[in-house]
Chain A
Amino acid sequence: RKEVEQDPGPFNVPEGATVAFNCTYSNSASQSFFWYRQDCRKEPKLLMSVYSSGNEDGRFTAQLNRASQYISLLIRDSKLSDSATYLCVVIGQGGSEKLVFGKGTKLTVNP
Chain B
Amino acid sequence: DAGITQSPRHKVTETGTPVTLRCHQTENHRYMYWYRQDPGHGLRLIHYSYGVKDTDKGEVSDGYSVSRSKTEDFLLTLESATSSQTSVYFCAISEANMRTEAFFGQGTRLTVV
Contact = CB atoms under 8 A, between A and B. Distances in A.
Given A45-B104, A49-B101, A99 B92 contact: yes
A57 interface: no
B70 interface: no
Contacts of A42: 106-107
A44 B4 CA distance: 13
Given A43-B90, A99-B33, A99-B92, A32 B107 contact: no
Interface in A71-111: 87, 89, 91-92, 96-104
A31 B42 contact: no
A97 B31 contact: yes
Interface residues of B, number: 25
Given A99-B102, A101-B42, 14 more contacts: A42-B107, A43-B104, A43-B106, A43-B107, A44-B43, A46-B101, A97-B50, A98-B33, A98-B48, A98-B58, A99-B94, A100-B45, A101-B44, A103-B40
A25 interface: no
Interface of A: 31-32, 34, 42-46, 49, 87, 89, 91-92, 96-104
Contacts of B101: 34, 46, 49
Contacts of B45: 98-101
A22 to B, nearest CB: 16
Interface in B18-70: 31, 33, 35, 40-45, 48, 50, 56, 58
Contact of B42 (A32, A91, A102): A102
A96 B105 CA distance: 22
A44 B42 contact: no
A43 B105 contact: yes
A98 B58 CA distance: 9
B42 A104 contact: yes
Contact of B104 (A44, A49, A97, A104): A44
